[in-house]
Amino acid sequence: MSKEEASAFAPVNIALVKYWGKRNEELNLPVTSSLSISLGNYGATTSVKIIDAPVDQVLLDNQFVPNTDSFYTRVVKFLELIRNKFNLGNMRFQVKTHSNLPIAAGLASSASGFAALSLALNKLFAKNLSLEELSKLARRGSGSAARSVYQGFALWQAGQSPDGQDSFAYPINYTWPKLRIGLLIFNATKKATSSTQAMQATTKTCPFYKLWPQIVDEHLQIMLTAIKNHDFITLGSIAETNALYMHSMMQATIPPTIYANEHTLQCIKKIWELRSLGLNIYFTQDAGPNLKLIYLDEDSSLIKQHFAAYQLIEIDVFQGL
Ligand code: DP6
């Protein structure tokens, strides 16, 4: 071991075809494959340091996270896995993570955090793991983290193996310089129901969850072709439909989860209205009230005007790639 501390960055990723449901809770193995786009410079920087202390320490934005917090428990569970995998005995760590986007606001910050932590641990112990191995490792922290080890489009293949060895993400090497993602932020506070809990309830109690795998298969095929052909309308409409199906499943679940708030609904209606007037704008939504707008650079200024009343962060996803 050459050093005592290492740090890494990993981007947030937004799923265009969602991961919703696990076939193995412990290993974070998904029922279906999923497809995402990473957000360039937006994400988490995570550092990990070996410490001489009885327990692991976790800091979020320079504040110690109490050991009663579910985030602390998740990080320590992941470190436990690392201690076993790398034969580290009782070695303790201090993990510091900072996201340049609001944490846990349905912006997949835990995904970028666990991907960055996996990359940092790989550096710290000079393991030279491949991106495929790093994707599998990150997946154990949070399923969607499997996709955050890449920039651009990534496909997380569900795999079939019970041990998860074939469940990792790989990059889809098509760029799309004109594509823009707009983060429309209504609420930056921690969500009440975690995605883990909501997806567990969905797989157990949603009467039409059984239709989801086939729907995802179809959406993935169409999405991949749309990406290859730069077919924006197909990409946008499939992403939006896929998100709406996911949210309808979690509402038809016991207990139900509704992540939308009044701003979410107002903006969804506005997007549909703008579209009926000829503007090419679509949305997707994850496990929080915020919307992610999907549009092309030529409509950027118009869209910023229409949503001037809200906080909108525009991301040029392929800048510098
Ligand atoms: C709606 O990856 O946060 O963002 O594996 O339990 O940590 P865990 O869940 P998580 O779920 C992400 C759900 C989603 C869709 C997606 O990113 O594909």
What is the number of helices (H) and of strands (E) in the chain?
8, 13
pLDDT tens-place string over residues 266-313: 999 999 999 999 999 999 999 999 999 999 999 999 999 999 999 999
- Across the chain, mean pLDDT equals 94
**Count of other CB atoms within 10 angstroms of residue 191:** 18
pLDDT given at position 102: 62
Predicted TM-score (pTM) of this structure: 0.96
Average pLDDT over residues 247-256: 97
Going 171 to 172 to 173 to 176, the CA torsion angle's sign is negative
pLDDT given at position 106: 46
Q: Is 111 in the pocket of ligand 1 (CB under 6 A)?
A: yes
Q: Is 28 in the pocket of ligand 1 (CB under 6 A)?
A: yes
- 81 CB-near residues (< 8 Å, 6+ apart): 140
Distances (CA, A) of 172 to 156, 157, 162: 10, 12, 25
- Nearest to 188, CA basis, from 244, 239, 263: 263
Q: Is 259 in the pocket of ligand 1 (CB under 6 A)?
A: no
**Count of other CB atoms within 10 angstroms of residue 147:** 33
Q: Per residue in 4-17, is it b (16+ CB within 10 Å) or e — as a string?
A: eebbbbbbbbbbbb
pLDDT tens-place string over residues 185-239: 987 666 678 999 999 999 999 999 999 999 999 999 999 999 999 999 999 999 9
pLDDT tens-place string over residues 1-43: 447 999 999 999 999 999 999 999 999 999 999 999 999 999 9
C-alpha 107: how far from chain center: 7
Nearest CA to ligand 1 atom 6: 196
- Nearest to 173, CA basis, from 148, 157, 155: 155
DSSP, collapsed to helix, strand or coil, labels residue 3 as: coil
| ∠ Cα 103 146 48 (to 5°) | 60
Using the mean position of ligand 1's atoms as its centre, give its distance from the Cα of residue 278 in Å: 32
Kindly give the number of the ligand 1 atom that is closest to the alpha carbon of 13: 17
Using the mean position of ligand 1's atoms as its centre, give its distance from the Cα of residue 226 in Å: 23
- Nearest to 233, CA basis, from 284, 281, 303: 281
Q: At what angle do helices 131-141 and 70-85 cross, to 10 degrees?
A: 140
pLDDT given at position 189: 67
* Token couple for 255: 């207990």
pLDDT given at position 297: 98
At residue 116, φ and ψ (nearest 5 deg) are -65, -40
Kindly give the number of the ligand 1 atom that is closest to the alpha carbon of 17: 18
The overall longest dimension of the chain from CA atoms, in Å, is 62
- Nearest to 121, CA basis, from 102, 99, 149: 149
Pairing of strands 153-156, 169-172: antiparallel
Please give the helix or strand (H or E) that residue 82 lies within, else none: helix 70-85
Please give the helix or strand (H or E) that residue 14 lies within, else none: strand 5-17
Rounded to whole angstroms, the Cα distance separating 272 from 193 reads 27
